[in-house]
């Protein structure tokens, strides 16, 4: 099966630090005006998804949810979670006090990858 999301070593290191401090985590990537398309990290259950939102996979046991409209646009893309030294737009994400910002890099799936994608989970 082809994963829909992966993470860089730097992102995994930061996730582990946040898990030590906050426990179980979740990610949500919206497509709205205020938070842009920056992935945001919350304590698990700290953000309520909307009907139709999509879980594209997990990173270090943290579910990665995508806004239903944004997913429709990026459903043919692989996501790679990375982190940079910066203050992100949202400010609500758990990495913000550490002066870090999660970000996503995209690439289009190959035709072979499209045939073996991991299943999705939807909010119904």
pLDDT digits (tens, 9 = 90+) for 58-73: 999 999 999 999 999 9
- The token pair at 85 is 């030294």
Pairing of strands 100-108, 39-43: unpaired
Architecture of domain 5-112 in this structure: Sandwich (2.60)
Confidence band of 86 (pLDDT split at 50, 70, 90): confident
Over range 32-49, report the average pLDDT. 81
Strand order, beta sheet including 121-122: 39-43, 25-29, 62-66, 54-59, 121-122
- The token pair at 43 is 């304590």
Residue with tokens 């497509």: 31
Please choose, from the candidates 83, 103, 81, the residue with its C-alpha nearest in 3D space to the C-alpha of residue 35.
103
Model confidence, pTM: 0.93
* Domain ranges across the chain: 5-112
């Amino acid at each position: 099966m082809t994963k829909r999301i992966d993470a860089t070593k730097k992102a995994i290191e930061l996730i582990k630090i946040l898990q030590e401090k906050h426990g179980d985590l979740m990610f949500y990537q919206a497509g709205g005006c205020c938070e842009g398309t920056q992935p945001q990290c919350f304590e698990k259950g700290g953000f309520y998804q909307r009907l139709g939102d999509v879980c594209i996979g997990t990173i270090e046991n943290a579910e990665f949810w995508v806004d239903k409209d944004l997913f429709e646009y990026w459903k043919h893309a692989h996501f790679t979670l990375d982190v940079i030294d910066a203050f992100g737009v949202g400010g609500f994400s758990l990495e913000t006090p550490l002066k870090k910002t999660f970000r996503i890099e995209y690439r289009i799936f190959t035709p072979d990858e499209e045939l073996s994608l991991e299943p999705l989970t939807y909010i119904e």
